Amino acid sequence: TYLMLSTPEVCEQVYTQEGGVLDGVIAGKQLVDCATLRPEDMASLAARVRERGGTFLEAPVSGSKAPAAQGQLIFMTAGDEDTYKQSALELEAMGKLSVFCGREVGLATKMKLCVNMVMGAQLAAISEGLALADDLGLDLGDVQAVLDSGAMASPMLKLKGPLMAKR
């Protein structure tokens, strides 16, 4: 069973309500949870699933609606390695990459935190660079072209740079 819920509160409710996820966990049941939660939240969910005889794979994703629709998500996983191996075909259908970060639930969330930090730093650098270029009277289209053609070229720059230039 795959889950991708929006908040820790929603996850807790869906797992614990009467007739919820935990009520359906029996020996051998495999859960792959793709939510982005705190590492300790994932560990708590995993422990409760294991107590009922199930297996748990934490699998937060990098990517938004467009990559999801195109099967281009990136899955960062941790937890039950056999569940990871048995989920390979489904993860491949939904994403372009999946990595197994280890057996300790929480490691995948920590990986996502690191990835998001780098993306945030890149977005900040793009916005600061474009703001400076604008203040200096440079053509933002030319700045974008130079960045897109050099070492800084990236999908993030190609997507967000023009939007930032338009404010």
CB 60 within 8 A of CB 109: yes
CB 22 within 8 A of CB 52: yes
Q: Is 112 a catalytic residue?
A: yes
Among residues 85, 110, 112, 158, the one annotated as catalytic is: 112
Instruction: Tell me which residues are annotated as active site.
Output: 112
